[in-house]
Structure 1
Amino acid sequence: MNIDLRNIDFEDELKSIMRKEDFATASKCIRSVVLEHERFKKRINDLEQMLTKERKENITLLEEKKKIKDSLKILRELLT
């Protein structure tokens, strides 16, 4: 059973299920929530890794920009 998690108020839904003592459905709902949580954690981790990579690339670009500026400064001094 695949439960669509986007439109569920989990707390109310779980309370309703538990009042009916439908433990099999409650268990499936809990498993779905756990799986969705794991997917979110993985996605957050992936995004953090991408951000770290982009930060490193930005630092590298800033270092290259500084080197170019320094080189231009030296060239200007040599030309004057």
Structure 2
Amino acid sequence: MFDPMSFRLILWIGGAFAALALLLWGITFLWGSMGIGMTGHGWFAYILGGVLTLALSIGLFLLTFHSARHGHDDMDDPGA
């Protein structure tokens, strides 16, 4: 069955990666105008670092929301 929440989540994640790509592209032109160059290994590390950072932050946010929605953050003994 089609779940609209999953579709919205996919759109948000796709938008985040599109924003990352736009940011990396813009920084590339900024560095080019300043005469700064990088090797292929530098570009690979630059892109990989951005993608992994974004993926880690998305994963941690999803775990936080999942935990809050399923009651894992509720206190068992509020008087303690």
* TM-score, scaled to structure 1: 0.43
Compare CA radii of gyration and give the structure with the larger one: 1
* TM-score, scaled to structure 2: 0.43
